[in-house]
Structure 1
Amino acid sequence: MPVRNKEQHRTQRIGWLRAAVLGANDGIVSTASLVLGVAAAHATHGSILLTGVAGLVAGTMSMATGEYVSVHSQADTEKAELALERKELETDDKGERKELSAIYIGRGLEPALAQQVAEQLMAHDALGAHARDELGISDTFSARPTLAALASAISFAVGAALPLLVVALAPHASLIPFVSATSLVFLALLGGLAAYVGGAPVMTGVMRVTFWSALAMGVTAGVGALFGTVA
């Protein structure tokens, strides 16, 4: 009998997709907002470009550091929970079997079948069964700090490079409309791609990303214009 190919579910992409989309989106929004704010304050073309490059470097390091620390904290919590569960399995095996059976009963299995399932799963991999069904920890959703940090850093740098490229090529007099328009196009494409890969409605993703990004850039440009006028 031929073995069926393993199904590929979108949930397997959640970890890296979240980090990559967040990084690229933040790279575009923060860098575009930064250069728009400086441009609205009547800075020179060179100063605007230098500010954008500094924002790219600082943002890349910040994203990598923040993602690594936060995801590592999650990983530490998972390790602590697994260590506690391992100890409980060693000291109260019978109670842990009842606990697992109760979980399956709560999900709709008959008590006898729930006990049988719990017995067989614990005989195969007791810690794995409790990690998955009691703690909600699985290989698909487990924390991977290094992967998340790399995905965030690289995607932020790529996202930030897009408005910087526009700054470098656009005429100084038309820099604000060029950066604003192209950044919104980049963000709309990113939102649509993320929604498509994740299986969500594409237009919803596009509209959500575009609206909030336009608001962020508008506020930053307004602040830059205000302080530039005051100065």
Structure 2
Amino acid sequence: MAITAFVPRRRRSMAKQAGREYHLVDRIGWLRAAVLGANDGILSTSSLVLGVAAAGGTRASVLIAALAALVAGAMSMAAGEYVSVSSQHDTEQADLARERAELAADFSGEQEELARIYRERGIDEATARIIARELMAKDALAAHARDELGITIANTARPIQAAFTSAATFTFGAAMPVLIAAIAPRAWLIPIEIAGSLLFLAVLGAIGAVTGGANVWRATARVTFWGALALAVTAGIGRLVGTVV
């Protein structure tokens, strides 16, 4: 039975365009950074707003803290993603350089190594040798990158894309609690901030699930639960500090 028989018909129809089949895994590179950035933007900024407000801060101090969190968070996300993904990129390039050298030094040995990988996956020896030979005749490095190192186009490191996506989505996510801090009545700021942030987090979880093909309810519940926990802890600490001070 074909593997596509286990994929919902709607997803199969959306995945094929102009004769090429697109997979949800192709979105991993930017989807992870986007979800992380937006989630962090909502949660960290709203948590800071709640902490300052619960400590008795004025609207001005709350709004200044929220704007500072937005700018600092966006820059931090961009820098952090760029550095971490660049490290992954450097590691990939080092592995590819070593593999390129091994191909130049012992092409036949590398061909046998690739055939062994296919045999371990269940392909008979004769077929494994044919596949290894033909794939290496076309692009030996790409064949080893994919099947030996696990490096593909879908999961290859893209530092600039990750940095820009994280910064942009963090800014978008953080703008929501900042807007609430600016327009909500001071007396109702804390409950409105909590309700709005949880709503934003739930929507983000649902969007991420739909985009990634995951279970919507599970993803929404997960991000809402951990968001509520973080907001409760922050508000509690802010209240405690405000009472002591």
Supply the distance in 1 between the matched residues of 2:229 and 2:69 (Cα, whole angstroms). 19
| Alpha-carbon shift at residue 4 of structure 1 (Å) | 6.2
Aligned residues: 229
Deviations 1:127-150 (A, max 9, x none): 000000000011111000000000
Supply the distance in 1 between the matched residues of 2:191 and 2:158 (Cα, whole angstroms). 40
1:189 counterpart SS class? helix
Which residues of structure 2 form unaligned runs of 5+? 1-16
Alignment of 1:37-186 (within 5 A): 37-186=51-200
Q: Does 2:48 correspond to 1:10?
A: no
| Alpha-carbon shift at residue 205 of structure 1 (Å) | 0.4
Supply the distance in 2 between the matched residues of 1:108 and 1:33 (Cα, whole angstroms). 52
TM-score (norm. length: structure 2): 0.92
Q: Look up the equivalent residue of 2:74 and give its one-letter code.
A: T
Alpha carbons of structure 1 residues 94 and 8: separation in structure 2 relative to 1, 3 Å:
same
Which residues of structure 1 form unaligned runs of 5+? none
Supply the distance in 2 between the matched residues of 1:78 and 1:4 (Cα, whole angstroms). 31
Q: Look up the equivalent residue of 1:176 and give its one-letter code.
A: I
Counterpart for residue 8 of structure 2: none
Supply the distance in 2 between the matched residues of 1:10 and 1:139 (Cα, whole angstroms). 13
Counterpart for residue 9 of structure 2: none
Identity %: 59
Counterpart for residue 5 of structure 2: none
Give the 4+ runs in structure 1 shifted more than 6 A. none
Supply the distance in 1 between the matched residues of 2:193 and 2:22 (Cα, whole angstroms). 38
Q: Look up the equivalent residue of 2:239 and give its one-letter code.
A: A
Q: CA RMSD in A?
A: 0.9
Q: Does 2:237 correspond to 1:223?
A: yes
| Alpha-carbon shift at residue 179 of structure 1 (Å) | 0.4
Q: Look up the equivalent residue of 1:115 and give its one-letter code.
A: R
Supply the distance in 1 between the matched residues of 2:237 and 2:76 (Cα, whole angstroms). 23
Supply the distance in 2 between the matched residues of 1:181 and 1:45 (Cα, whole angstroms). 18
TM-score (norm. length: structure 1): 0.98
Supply the distance in 2 between the matched residues of 1:87 and 1:21 (Cα, whole angstroms). 38
| Alpha-carbon shift at residue 108 of structure 1 (Å) | 1.1
Supply the distance in 1 between the matched residues of 2:158 and 2:188 (Cα, whole angstroms). 43
| Alpha-carbon shift at residue 83 of structure 1 (Å) | 0.2
2:21 counterpart SS class? coil
Q: Look up the equivalent residue of 1:33 and give its one-letter code.
A: S
Counterpart for residue 21 of structure 1: 35
Deviations 1:54-99 (A, max 9, x none): 0001100000000000000000000000000000001111110110
